[in-house]
Chain A
Amino acid sequence: MAEIVKVQGLQKKFGKFKALHDVTFTVNAGEVVGFIGPNGAGKSTTIRTLLGIINRDAGDVKIFGKDVWKDSLEIHKRISYVPGDVSLWGSLTGGEIIDLFIKLHGGGDKEKRDYLIKRFELDPKKKSKGYSKGNRQKVGLIAALSVDSDLYIFDEPTSGLDPLMEAVFQDEVEKIKHAGKAILLSSHILSEVERLADKVAIIRQGKVVETGTLDELRHLTRSTVTLVTEGDVAKMASVNGVHDFKQTGNQATFSADNEYINDILSEAAKLSVKKFESVPPTLEDLFMRHYEV
């Protein structure tokens, strides 16, 4: 798979404040990378660096193998971007702004534009000062999706969208993903990332602390197990790999290390299992684990 985005040891200071310490991740063609982290962790700063809006202090940042600062224009020909807070010129209509963005990008598909306007249920004749947050976001999304790019960068793209429109967005992203495009999706909405992303990069205080596929990340963490046995379930508490053991009657709930899952199963079998449920960690669990100190 072709490497589209490559960020290696990115650092950025604003005056004395060090916004990015060490950001490292890659995005490949045909891949959606979820970029998650709390407010102020450095997601938008990283994206602005990728776009050449701000310059880095250290590190190697490339898109399509080209330097993001020096060759930003070459890169921009083949990318689409939607900022987290789409801010528009109040005196222009949504339709006018979409056309302007498409044109300045170098031209796009008129039919695609009309199709997306319909799908996102945007009224393009309205002056944009009358738009709600969600409608402004739609303008940005329609403009970005109407042009043909190889890399799509979305910064909190669905903030302000209603659940129906969120689904439309996810649907459109699936389409471009299947067309073999690369997508960097920065988001708080973990269910969305979970649905769309192949890989996840978790950023915390300017540092990427975890990257990998969801499966890989899940493997590193514990699953939640609910167990009902005929024998005394309390014996399970002392088995290797069992944590946070809680018991009510002969039912126990605990978190289990994935590498000890075999030991746990065989110990449980001795007590004659009536019910065994294992739930893999959600992305939210993974995410919270990094912020619970």
Chain B
Amino acid sequence: MKEKFARWDALFVQYMKRDWKKIIIWVLGLGLFSGAYVPAFEEIAKGKGLLGMYETMQNPAMISMVGPTPVNTAADYTLGAMYANEMLLFCGLFAMIMAALHVVSHTRKEEDHGLTELVRSFQVGRQANSLAVVTETILINILLAVFTGGVMASFGADTISAGGSFLFGASIGMAGILGAVIALVMAQIMPTSSGATGSSLGIIGLLYIVRAGTDVSNVDLSMINPMGWTYLTYPFTENNWVPLIWATAFCIIAVIVAFALEGGRDMGAGYLPEREGREAAKKSLLSVPGLFIKLNKGVMISWLIAFVIMGAAYGSIYGDMQTFIGSNEMMSQMFTLAGVSIEESFTGTIMMVMIGLVSILPIAIVNKLFSEEVRLHLSQLYSTKVTRAKLYWTSVILAIVAGVIGILLASCGLGGTAISAMGDSSSMDIGDFVAAGYNFLPSVLFFTGLAALALGWAPKLGKVIYAYLGYSFALNYFGGILDLPEWFSKTAVQSWVPRMPVDEFDEAVFSAMTVISIALMVFGYFGYRKRDMVEGA
């Protein structure tokens, strides 16, 4: 026993020294994200806010996303109940993912990189590293739990008791530990670190989806789901510590299993055989577009799914918008415009916000070409008959196509959920949503054009496009509240586009922006055609 874990304490101290910056950011960031929104929720709770939010949260779509509340009447839906209802599951999910990534990166990934080999050549036990990493991760999550609880309690809100706050924090910390042990088990089974990361995140995703189903149909069934042992503690309402005991037992068993598995395997190998890849390439890969699609596939699929979920999340609010917005001064100031329904006004604004986010994907695809260039992936391609035009325009066109699909998915996600949430009272059809979405197409093209321009002339500035997108986004988001001068708002490119369905479609603006964007892409190409390729610089 001693032999197996020899010097784990030295490794543990070393890891704390190595990771202290990451730990501070982790604990502070996630802790504040989890615990510090109390004032914002107090704002929402004003007037009839709690009532409206209670109704909204009864929507099965919302339950499937953020989880259920044990409260049965709107009158009992306190600030604390709302906070736990809306925040706990998501914060726990983040804590799980963080911990899982951390554990894999310090166990299996280090084996793949050959670091473990070096460490193990000293007088270090076979399983010392795993023990040190697990201890470190548990400690981090305990810190996170205490910090989150402390932050929440410090606001001194009536319905957010100190006991409930620490249960809230402990639930999040326990979620993190669950994520860590799941990752530790997968790190033993899978043949590579990327396999371990992928399968851990896959299991977490699966648990989340399964609980979405059981939460809506029968909450009791969620109690047999490890993820259920975190948010079903219901802080501030039932204050039930029992699920955490289940979770602790599960973690202890999982750690024992992981150590048993690790004891029986070779370093750098797993229990599942390494999947053999293709010996020859599929036809679909054998072209520049085929290659670029393959390279961007992961990013594209994950963002496109995110767009649908984002659309659906905003769409589910439509059902109770009247009560919700009517009770909130800040919100109603943002959305109420004379002569239009609150839903239409909301659609115009939220569409701008969403399509702003959709722009991230095309920028990422265009920037990818430069990162491939710097990583020397293209060196050998340059000497083939592949033209620079082909590389450039394939990237730009792929980015545009991704943007067009992104808008479609985001607006259909929003529209579809909104229409079903509004039921008979719906004043808009899906066409209105799609039209409102594509109305912002020129802004997506414009960001694509800017990224392309940077790629051609100053590729290192590609990342700055994100900053400008963030700036425009913030300006639009808060522009409605702050009374900004006209010229200042216009520095955000989306401000030029009228907001359908409240405003009329403006053909002149639409085509002018499209032409400018295409001109940027063409101009970028002139730069790309004649500049030196940056290799490894």
Contacts and interface: CB of A to CB of B under 8 A. Distances in A.
A96 B281 contact: yes
B384 A105 contact: yes
B384 A95 contact: no
Contacts of A92: 277, 281, 285, 294
B377 A87 contact: yes
B394 to A, nearest CB: 12
Contacts of B277: 92-93, 95-96, 125-127
Interface string B503-537: 00000000000000000000000000010110110
B530 A104 contact: no
Interface stretch (A77-85, A185-193, A251-259): A77-85
B291 A95 contact: no
A54 B376 contact: no
A51 interface: yes
A81 B384 CA distance: 8
B381 interface: yes
A83 B285 CA distance: 22
B121 interface: no
Contacts of B286: 99-100, 103-104
B533 A54 contact: yes
A88 B281 CA distance: 15
Interface string B377-400: 101111111110000000000000
B279 A124 contact: yes
Contacts of B279: 93, 95, 124-125
A82 B384 CA distance: 11
Contacts of A76: 383-385
A15 B280 CA distance: 43
B379 A87 contact: yes
Contact of A143 (B295, B380, B387): B380
Interface in B255-303: 276-282, 285-288, 291, 294-295
Contacts of A89: 295, 377
B276 A79 contact: no
Chain B facing A: main interface SS: loop
A100 B386 CA distance: 12
A82 B380 contact: yes
Interface string B163-174: 000000000000
Contact of A77 (B294, B375, B380, B385): B385
Interface string A105-146: 110000000000000000011110110000000001001100
A85 B485 CA distance: 54
Given A53-B533, A125-B276, A83 B376 contact: yes
A185 B143 CA distance: 59
A228 interface: no
A153 interface: yes
Given A53-B382, A77-B385, A95-B280, A104 B288 contact: yes
Interface in A45-101: 48, 51-55, 73, 76-77, 79-83, 85-89, 91-93, 95-101
Q: How extensive is the interface on chain A, given as a class?
A: 35 or more
B327 interface: no
Contacts of B536: 85
Given A53-B533, A86-B380, A106 B385 contact: yes
B280 A51 contact: no
Contact of B278 (A55, A77, A93): A93
B533 A48 contact: yes
A53 B192 contact: no
A53 B384 CA distance: 11
B285 A99 contact: yes
Contacts of B533: 48, 53-54
A83 B378 CA distance: 10
A271 to B, nearest CB: 59
Contacts, number: 104
A52 B382 contact: yes
B385 A95 contact: no
Contacts of A106: 384-385
A281 B376 CA distance: 38
Most interface-central of B277, B288, B295, B383 (chain A CB within 10 A): B383
B376 to A, nearest CB: 4
Given A95-B278, A99-B286, A104-B385, A53 B535 contact: yes
Given A93-B278, A99-B281, A130-B192, A104 B535 contact: no
A100 B383 contact: no
Contacts of B376: 83, 85, 87
Contacts of B382: 51-53, 81
Contacts of A103: 281, 286-287
A104 B288 CA distance: 8
Given A89-B295, A104-B386, A81 B285 contact: no
Contacts of A87: 375-377, 379
B380 A53 contact: no
Most interface-central of B280, B288, B380, B382 (chain A CB within 10 A): B380
A98 B279 CA distance: 10
Contacts of A140: 380
Contacts of B385: 73, 76-77, 104-106
A83 B532 contact: no
B474 to A, nearest CB: 35
Given A73-B387, A125-B276, A101 B380 contact: yes
Given A77-B385, A86-B380, A106-B385, A100 B291 contact: yes
B250 to A, nearest CB: 33
A45 B383 CA distance: 14
A55 B280 contact: no
A80 B530 contact: no
Contact of A54 (B287, B381, B532): B532
Contact of B530 (A55, A79, A97, A153): A55
Given A87-B376, A89-B377, A105-B384, A100 B281 contact: yes
A125 B287 contact: no
Contacts of B281: 92, 95-100, 103
B276 to A, nearest CB: 4
A85 B536 CA distance: 10
A171 to B, nearest CB: 22
Contacts of A88: 377
B532 A53 contact: yes
Contacts of B377: 87-89
Nearest to B387: A73
A91 B194 CA distance: 10
Nearest to B291: A100
Nearest to B276: A125
B383 A80 contact: yes
17 contacts: A51-B382, A53-B382, A54-B533, A73-B385, A76-B385, A81-B379, A87-B379, A92-B277, A92-B294, A98-B281, A99-B286, A100-B285, A103-B286, A104-B287, A106-B385, A124-B279, A125-B276
Interface of B: 192, 194, 276-282, 285-288, 291, 294-295, 375-377, 379-387, 530, 532-533, 535-536
Given A93-B279, A99-B285, 5 more contacts: A79-B383, A80-B383, A87-B377, A96-B282, A126-B276
Q: Which 9 A-B pairs have the closest CB atoms?
A: A93-B277, A81-B383, A99-B281, A54-B532, A87-B376, A96-B281, A83-B379, A103-B286, A105-B384
